[in-house]
Chain A
Amino acid sequence: ELKVEQNPLFLSMQEGKNYTIYCNYSTTSDRLYWYRQDPGKSLESLFVLLSNGAVKQEGRLMASLDTKARLSTLHITAAVHDLSATYFCAVDDWGGADGLTFGKGTHLIIQP
C-alpha cells in the first residue's frame, strides 16, 4: 500500500523567514506533485517532479526530489503572507491505481 507522509502538518511562521516542508513516500514512483489549496477552493498545481534530483523553483517556492531517499521537499524562502495556504504533496503510482495518493497536507500560516 502506497503511503505518503508530510510534515509538519501545521506550521506558523513569520514573514521573512525560511522553512521547509517534507514529504516522504513508500513507493518507487518517481513522479511527485505539489499542490496549493486555499480555503474553500480547488487544488492549484505548483510543481511536477519527474526524476531523481529534479529541482523546480517558482518565486519564493522551490521543490526538490530525491527518489533514492523517497523524499521531496518544498522550501519557502523569505515567506510572505500571500503564501498562507494548505500545501499537499502527492505521488502517482503507475503500478497500481491510476490516480494520486496524497499526503494529509501542511496548513501554513504566515504572520506579518
Chain B
Amino acid sequence: NAGVTQTPKFQVLKTGQSMTLQCAQDMNHEYMSWYRQDPGMGLRLIHYSVGAGITDQGEVPNGYNVSRSTTEDFPLRLLSAAPSQTSVYFCASRAGYGYTFGSGTRLTVV
C-alpha cells in the first residue's frame, strides 16, 4: 500500500518555466488537496478536490492550476514559475477524519 506518492522529490526551475507536480493515491480517497510550506508560515492550502471532476481554490491559489480527471491523481501545475513559488509542496488525501500526506516536493525557482 503506497499511500500518497509525490513526484518529483526535488526540482529546480527557471523563472517563467512551467511544470507539473504529480500526486497519486491508491486508497480510493475522494478528497485530495495541495499545500505549500514556507519557513515560519506553516502549511497553506492551495487547491483541493472533493472528487473526480471537482476542484476548488484554497487560501493561496494564484499561479497554480489543478485538475482531477481520476480519483487517483491530482496534479498541480505551475503555469509560469516565479521565485515566490520556491517552497515545499505537500499533497494530502482524506477519508473520514484522517489525512494522509505525501513525502513532499522541494521546488526552487531561480
Chain A residues in the interface with B (C-beta under 8 A): 4, 9, 31, 33, 41-43, 45, 48, 50, 88, 90, 92, 97-105
Contacts and interface: CB of A to CB of B under 8 A. Distances in A.
Contact of B33 (A50, A88, A99): A99
Interface residues of B, number: 25
B44 interface: yes
Contacts of B40: 9, 104
A77 to B, nearest CB: 25
Given A48-B98, A97-B59, A98-B31, A42 B45 contact: no
A102 B42 contact: yes
A43 B44 contact: no
Given A98-B50, A99-B58, A45 B98 contact: yes
B8 to A, nearest CB: 15
Interface of B: 31, 33, 35, 40-45, 48, 50, 56-59, 90, 92, 94, 97-99, 101-104
B45 A99 contact: yes
A97 B43 CA distance: 14
Contacts of B44: 102
Nearest to B43: A102
B48 A42 contact: no
Contacts, number: 57
Contact of A88 (B43, B98, B104): B43
B48 A99 contact: yes
A90 B45 CA distance: 12
Given A42-B103, A43-B101, A45-B98, A98 B42 contact: no
A52 to B, nearest CB: 15
A31 B42 contact: no
Contacts of A33: 99
Contacts of A98: 31, 33, 48, 50, 56, 94
B39 to A, nearest CB: 10
A29 to B, nearest CB: 12
A41 B9 CA distance: 11
